[in-house]
Amino acid sequence: MASSAAFANSLLSLKSHRPNALPSSTCVAIPKSNNLSLQFKDNSRKNQLQQHARFTTFCSVEAAKDAAQDTPIEQRYEAFPTVMDINQIRDILPHRFPFLLVDRVIEYNPGVSAVAIKNVTINDNFFPGHFPERPIMPGVLMVEAMAQVGGLVMLQPEVGGSRDNFFFAGIDKVRFRKPVIAGDTLVMRMTLIKLQKRFGIAKMEGKAYVGGEVACEGEFLMATGSD
Protein backbone atom coordinates (compact mmCIF):
# COMPACT_ATOMS: atom_id res chain seq x y z
CA MET A 1 0.00 0.00 0.00
CA ALA A 2 2.76 2.41 0.91
CA SER A 3 4.65 1.75 -2.34
CA SER A 4 1.52 2.34 -4.42
CA ALA A 5 0.87 5.64 -2.68
CA ALA A 6 4.50 6.67 -3.22
CA PHE A 7 4.18 5.88 -6.96
CA ALA A 8 1.05 8.00 -7.23
CA ASN A 9 2.64 10.91 -5.35
CA SER A 10 5.68 10.78 -7.65
CA LEU A 11 3.44 11.01 -10.70
CA LEU A 12 1.63 14.05 -9.35
CA SER A 13 4.89 15.68 -8.36
CA LEU A 14 6.26 15.07 -11.85
CA LYS A 15 3.24 16.72 -13.42
CA SER A 16 3.14 19.81 -11.22
CA HIS A 17 6.78 20.50 -10.37
CA ARG A 18 9.16 18.65 -12.71
CA PRO A 19 7.66 18.38 -16.25
CA ASN A 20 11.08 17.92 -17.83
CA ALA A 21 12.54 15.53 -15.24
CA LEU A 22 12.39 12.49 -17.50
CA PRO A 23 14.34 12.25 -20.77
CA SER A 24 12.29 12.18 -23.98
CA SER A 25 13.10 8.49 -24.48
CA THR A 26 11.60 7.43 -21.14
CA CYS A 27 8.16 5.86 -21.32
CA VAL A 28 5.63 6.82 -18.67
CA ALA A 29 2.88 4.23 -18.24
CA ILE A 30 -0.30 5.54 -16.69
CA PRO A 31 -2.42 2.60 -15.47
CA LYS A 32 -5.97 2.30 -16.75
CA SER A 33 -7.10 -0.08 -14.02
CA ASN A 34 -9.65 1.09 -11.50
CA ASN A 35 -8.49 -1.56 -8.99
CA LEU A 36 -6.01 0.75 -7.26
CA SER A 37 -7.35 1.16 -3.72
CA LEU A 38 -5.06 3.93 -2.52
CA GLN A 39 -5.74 5.95 0.58
CA PHE A 40 -5.40 9.71 0.30
CA LYS A 41 -5.96 12.26 2.97
CA ASP A 42 -6.50 14.86 0.24
CA ASN A 43 -9.42 13.91 -2.06
CA SER A 44 -8.24 16.34 -4.75
CA ARG A 45 -5.08 14.26 -5.22
CA LYS A 46 -7.13 11.11 -5.56
CA ASN A 47 -9.26 12.78 -8.24
CA GLN A 48 -6.14 13.87 -10.09
CA LEU A 49 -4.80 10.33 -10.14
CA GLN A 50 -8.13 9.00 -11.41
CA GLN A 51 -7.98 11.52 -14.23
CA HIS A 52 -4.50 10.25 -15.14
CA ALA A 53 -5.80 6.67 -15.22
CA ARG A 54 -7.94 7.48 -18.24
CA PHE A 55 -4.90 8.24 -20.44
CA THR A 56 -2.87 5.77 -22.49
CA THR A 57 0.91 5.29 -22.46
CA PHE A 58 3.15 8.06 -23.86
CA CYS A 59 6.85 7.66 -24.63
CA SER A 60 7.73 11.02 -23.14
CA VAL A 61 6.30 13.70 -20.92
CA GLU A 62 6.39 16.03 -23.93
CA ALA A 63 4.28 13.62 -25.97
CA ALA A 64 1.74 13.43 -23.16
CA LYS A 65 1.37 17.19 -23.35
CA ASP A 66 1.15 17.34 -27.15
CA ALA A 67 -2.09 19.05 -28.07
CA ALA A 68 -2.16 17.20 -31.41
CA GLN A 69 -3.02 14.02 -29.50
CA ASP A 70 -6.37 15.59 -28.68
CA THR A 71 -7.08 16.60 -32.31
CA PRO A 72 -9.38 14.23 -34.21
CA ILE A 73 -7.52 12.45 -36.99
CA GLU A 74 -9.76 13.92 -39.67
CA GLN A 75 -8.56 17.40 -38.67
CA ARG A 76 -4.81 16.72 -38.37
CA TYR A 77 -3.86 16.81 -42.06
CA GLU A 78 -4.11 19.75 -44.41
CA ALA A 79 -5.27 19.33 -48.00
CA PHE A 80 -2.81 19.55 -50.87
CA PRO A 81 -2.55 23.09 -52.23
CA THR A 82 -4.05 23.87 -55.63
CA VAL A 83 -1.81 25.57 -58.16
CA MET A 84 -3.77 24.20 -61.13
CA ASP A 85 -7.19 22.61 -60.78
CA ILE A 86 -8.63 19.98 -63.11
CA ASN A 87 -10.13 22.58 -65.46
CA GLN A 88 -6.79 24.32 -65.90
CA ILE A 89 -5.13 20.95 -66.47
CA ARG A 90 -7.68 20.16 -69.18
CA ASP A 91 -6.87 23.46 -70.86
CA ILE A 92 -3.23 22.34 -71.22
CA LEU A 93 -3.34 18.58 -71.73
CA PRO A 94 -5.25 17.04 -74.66
CA HIS A 95 -6.06 13.87 -72.68
CA ARG A 96 -9.63 13.08 -71.69
CA PHE A 97 -11.49 10.28 -69.88
CA PRO A 98 -10.47 7.59 -69.29
CA PHE A 99 -6.87 8.56 -69.92
CA LEU A 100 -6.43 11.84 -68.06
CA LEU A 101 -4.39 10.69 -65.05
CA VAL A 102 -3.61 13.99 -63.31
CA ASP A 103 -6.09 15.49 -60.84
CA ARG A 104 -4.30 18.54 -59.43
CA VAL A 105 -1.02 20.42 -59.69
CA ILE A 106 0.35 21.34 -56.27
CA GLU A 107 3.61 22.99 -57.33
CA TYR A 108 4.71 24.53 -60.63
CA ASN A 109 7.95 26.18 -61.76
CA PRO A 110 7.44 27.39 -65.35
CA GLY A 111 9.64 25.52 -67.78
CA VAL A 112 11.45 23.72 -64.95
CA SER A 113 9.30 21.32 -62.92
CA ALA A 114 5.84 20.40 -61.73
CA VAL A 115 4.43 18.34 -58.88
CA ALA A 116 0.96 16.88 -59.32
CA ILE A 117 -1.27 14.27 -57.75
CA LYS A 118 -3.37 11.40 -58.97
CA ASN A 119 -6.02 10.19 -56.55
CA VAL A 120 -6.20 6.44 -57.06
CA THR A 121 -9.71 5.13 -56.42
CA ILE A 122 -11.42 1.78 -56.80
CA ASN A 123 -13.64 3.44 -59.43
CA ASP A 124 -10.70 3.81 -61.83
CA ASN A 125 -11.56 1.89 -64.96
CA PHE A 126 -8.43 -0.30 -64.93
CA PHE A 127 -9.07 -1.96 -61.57
CA PRO A 128 -11.73 -4.48 -62.72
CA GLY A 129 -9.06 -6.14 -64.84
CA HIS A 130 -5.89 -5.36 -62.84
CA PHE A 131 -6.64 -7.26 -60.72
CA PRO A 132 -10.15 -8.35 -59.67
CA GLU A 133 -8.93 -9.83 -56.38
CA ARG A 134 -6.10 -7.36 -55.72
CA PRO A 135 -6.54 -3.88 -57.23
CA ILE A 136 -3.09 -2.57 -58.19
CA MET A 137 -2.44 0.41 -60.47
CA PRO A 138 -0.61 -0.83 -63.59
CA GLY A 139 2.99 0.31 -63.79
CA VAL A 140 2.56 1.52 -67.37
CA LEU A 141 -0.21 3.85 -66.20
CA MET A 142 1.98 5.21 -63.44
CA VAL A 143 4.56 6.02 -66.12
CA GLU A 144 1.85 7.57 -68.30
CA ALA A 145 0.60 9.72 -65.42
CA MET A 146 4.14 10.96 -64.81
CA ALA A 147 4.55 11.71 -68.51
CA GLN A 148 1.38 13.80 -68.38
CA VAL A 149 2.87 15.83 -65.53
CA GLY A 150 5.89 16.29 -67.78
CA GLY A 151 3.50 17.54 -70.43
CA LEU A 152 2.26 20.20 -68.04
CA VAL A 153 5.85 21.44 -67.79
CA MET A 154 6.55 21.30 -71.52
CA LEU A 155 3.25 22.52 -73.01
CA GLN A 156 3.78 26.08 -71.87
CA PRO A 157 4.51 29.23 -73.90
CA GLU A 158 7.82 29.78 -72.13
CA VAL A 159 8.97 26.32 -73.24
CA GLY A 160 7.46 26.42 -76.71
CA GLY A 161 5.51 23.15 -76.70
CA SER A 162 2.19 22.55 -78.43
CA ARG A 163 -0.59 20.21 -77.36
CA ASP A 164 -1.03 19.30 -81.04
CA ASN A 165 2.60 18.25 -81.43
CA PHE A 166 3.82 16.66 -78.22
CA PHE A 167 4.72 13.02 -77.78
CA PHE A 168 6.08 10.65 -75.19
CA ALA A 169 9.22 9.48 -76.99
CA GLY A 170 10.98 7.11 -74.60
CA ILE A 171 11.74 5.94 -71.08
CA ASP A 172 14.92 4.76 -69.41
CA LYS A 173 16.02 3.46 -66.00
CA VAL A 174 12.43 2.99 -64.85
CA ARG A 175 12.04 1.21 -61.52
CA PHE A 176 8.91 0.30 -59.59
CA ARG A 177 9.58 0.36 -55.87
CA LYS A 178 6.19 -0.44 -54.33
CA PRO A 179 2.64 -1.23 -55.50
CA VAL A 180 0.10 1.56 -55.77
CA ILE A 181 -3.37 0.47 -54.68
CA ALA A 182 -6.87 1.90 -54.50
CA GLY A 183 -7.02 4.59 -51.82
CA ASP A 184 -3.46 5.84 -52.41
CA THR A 185 -2.53 9.34 -53.53
CA LEU A 186 0.23 9.25 -56.12
CA VAL A 187 2.41 12.39 -55.84
CA MET A 188 4.49 12.90 -58.99
CA ARG A 189 7.42 15.25 -59.55
CA MET A 190 8.75 15.85 -63.06
CA THR A 191 11.86 17.95 -63.60
CA LEU A 192 13.27 19.16 -66.91
CA ILE A 193 16.90 18.05 -67.21
CA LYS A 194 17.77 19.00 -70.79
CA LEU A 195 15.96 20.74 -73.63
CA GLN A 196 17.13 20.84 -77.25
CA LYS A 197 14.70 23.18 -78.96
CA ARG A 198 16.44 22.78 -82.30
CA PHE A 199 15.56 19.09 -82.38
CA GLY A 200 12.40 19.35 -80.31
CA ILE A 201 13.70 16.91 -77.69
CA ALA A 202 13.35 17.22 -73.93
CA LYS A 203 14.80 14.95 -71.25
CA MET A 204 13.03 14.81 -67.89
CA GLU A 205 13.54 13.08 -64.57
CA GLY A 206 10.51 11.77 -62.73
CA LYS A 207 9.67 10.32 -59.35
CA ALA A 208 6.31 9.25 -57.98
CA TYR A 209 5.63 8.87 -54.27
CA VAL A 210 3.02 7.33 -52.01
CA GLY A 211 3.15 8.42 -48.39
CA GLY A 212 6.61 9.92 -48.90
CA GLU A 213 8.08 6.65 -50.26
CA VAL A 214 9.20 6.31 -53.86
CA ALA A 215 6.81 4.11 -55.83
CA CYS A 216 8.22 4.70 -59.32
CA GLU A 217 11.12 6.58 -60.87
CA GLY A 218 12.78 6.95 -64.23
CA GLU A 219 14.03 9.17 -67.04
CA PHE A 220 11.66 10.38 -69.74
CA LEU A 221 12.23 11.54 -73.31
CA MET A 222 9.68 13.94 -74.78
CA ALA A 223 9.30 15.10 -78.39
CA THR A 224 8.06 18.66 -78.61
CA GLY A 225 7.17 21.02 -81.39
CA SER A 226 5.20 24.13 -82.31
CA ASP A 227 2.22 24.84 -84.51
pLDDT digits (tens, 9 = 90+) for 111-133: 899 999 999 999 999 999 999 99
How far apart are the C-alpha atoms of 113 and 204, rounded to whole Å?
A: 9
Exactly one of 17, 52, 95, 130 is catalytic; name it.
130
Distance in angstroms (rounded) separating the CA atoms of residues 1 and 11: 16
Task: Please give the single-letter amino acid code of residue 113.
Answer: S
Of residues 49 and 97, the one with the higher pLDDT is 97
Q: Is 130 a catalytic residue?
A: yes
More confidently predicted of 180 and 22? 180
Q: Is 140 a residue whose pLDDT tops 60?
A: yes
Task: Give the SS3 label for residue 10.
Answer: helix
At residue 160, does pLDDT exceed 90? Answer: no
Q: What is the pLDDT of residue 158?
A: 63
Q: Is the pTM of this model over 0.85?
A: no
For residue 72, what pLDDT band results from cuts at 50, 70 and 90? very high
Span 159-178, average pLDDT:
82
pLDDT at 191: 97
Residue 38 has pLDDT above 50, yes or no: no
